[in-house]
Amino acid sequence: MKLLITSINTLNEWVGRVTAWLVLLMVLVIVYDVMMRRFFSIGSVQLQELQWHLFALTFLLGAAYTFKYDEHVRVDIFYQSRWVSDVGRAWINLLGNVFLLIPFCILIIYTSYPFVSASFFQMETSPDPGGLPYRFLLKSAIPLCFILLLLQSISNIATSILVITGYNSHPKYHGCCGLDVKPIEVDKG
């Protein structure tokens, strides 16, 4: 099970680090576009759309990475309270992933398939004159995002099970899913 956790976490770590570079690229494109508009009165539909595409990719591809580090938006009264133990948090993570996140990911993957396949079939491009071609590639990031989130959810479930059963003693897994877990001490006497 730890191999599964490590594999999924490594994949999402890699995707997240690559996605972080998209932020820098997006900032450079925005600065260039603003400078060209402000000082030379030259605007570009392609640059404007490139900014939107990079923004979309940043959030879509960075979602699983953010979830991996438990940095996503969470409105939870009980989860961070001092009365909930790490095992309690593991149960909250397990139930939330099984009953909320996984069904939602499956729903989005399933319902986005016709949307994305129609876009690929039509070789969809920007409807704006001078816009970017290959919009169908951008739309394929929607199911990809939720596939990565689904995989991270599976990793979080496996980690939660290890925490609940007391087998999570490897320091590499401490801090995953927001859990800072210490090995369970067994009284040998």
Q: pLDDT digit string (tens) for 174-188?
A: 445 555 544 444 445
Q: pLDDT digit string (tens) for 132-153?
A: 999 999 999 999 999 999 999 9
Indicate the domain borders of the chain: 2-178
Q: Which of 40, 128, 141 is nearest to 32 (CA)?
A: 40
Phi-psi bin for 62: left (phi > 0), alpha (psi -120 to 50), beta? alpha
Q: Are 54 and 25 in contact (CB under 8 A)?
A: yes
Minimum mean pLDDT range among 18-22, 75-79, 89-93, 114-118: 75-79
pTM of the model: 0.85
pLDDT band (50, 70, 90) for residue 71:
confident
Q: Are 120 and 136 in contact (CB under 8 A)?
A: yes
pLDDT at 170: 44
pLDDT band (50, 70, 90) for residue 15:
very high
